[in-house]
């Protein structure tokens, strides 16, 4: 019987500068969060440093592509914004990314 594949030990994402106004929202997701894809992520917030990693018990078979992980992370970001509430909860990240990608050239600039 084959062993389940090991998840990479390196973090999926490290955010070194999470502003205090978001700390409660990040903590509200818990120490483990499940994306709509079903994949689970571990969250550790130490001071302003947020580390997102794979739980040791997670099995990644088949291994997700970078785009799939990005979709999970954007969903995580959306969950944080929703937990933050107010105008943050009204943000739709897919729309935001489209504006900044130039799909709406009149919509924004840097």
Partner 1 sequence: MIDELPAEVRSVFPFAAHWVNVSGFNLHYVDEGPRSSDAVLLLHGNPTWSFLYRKVIPTVAAAGLRVIAPDFLGSGRSDHSQAEGEYQIAHHIGRTLSLLDAAGVNRLVVFCQDWGGPIGMGCGLARPGLLRGLGLGNTFWGEGSEFHRRVFPWRALHGPVVGDVLFNRRPVFVDGARLGMPPEVADDPVAQLAYRLPWKVHGSYLGTLAWPRAISLGPDHPTQPLADALWAALGSWDVPVRFVWGGADPVFPWTEQGERLWNRLPRGHEAEPLVVPDGRHFIQEYAPDEIAASMIDLATEGFS
Chain positions contacting partner 1, by CB under 8 A: 13-19, 22, 25-26, 50, 52, 66, 70, 73-74, 76-77, 80-81, 87-88, 90-91, 93, 96-97, 99-102, 105, 107-110
Task: Pick between residue 58 and residue 84 the one whose CB is nearest to partner 1.
Answer: 84
In the complex, least distance from residue 7 CB atom to partner 1, rounded to whole angstroms: 18
In the complex, least distance from residue 3 CB atom to partner 1, rounded to whole angstroms: 29
Task: Pick between residue 60 and residue 79 the one whose CB is nearest to partner 1.
Answer: 79
CA-atom Rg of the chain in angstroms = 16
Task: Pick between residue 2 and residue 9 the one whose CB is nearest to partner 1.
Answer: 9
Question: Scanning the structure block, which residue is given the tokens 């997102």?
Answer: 52
What is the DSSP annotation of 50-100?
EEEE--TT---SSPPPHHHHHHHHHHHHHHHHHHH-HHHHT--HHHHHHHH
Distance CA 54, CA 8 (A): 7
């Amino acid at each position: 019987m084959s062993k389940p594949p090991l998840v990479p030990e390196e973090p999926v994402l490290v955010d070194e500068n999470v502003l205090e106004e978001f700390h409660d929202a990040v903590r509200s997701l818990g120490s483990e969060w499940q994306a709509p894809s079903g994949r689970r992520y571990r969250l550790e917030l130490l001071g302003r440093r947020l580390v997102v990693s794979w739980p040791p018990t997670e099995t990644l078979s088949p291994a997700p592509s970078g785009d799939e992980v990005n979709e999970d992370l954007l969903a995580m970001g959306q969950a944080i914004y929703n937990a933050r509430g107010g105008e943050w909860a009204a943000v739709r990240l897919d729309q935001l990314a489209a504006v900044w990608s130039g799909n709406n050239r009149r919509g924004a600039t840097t």
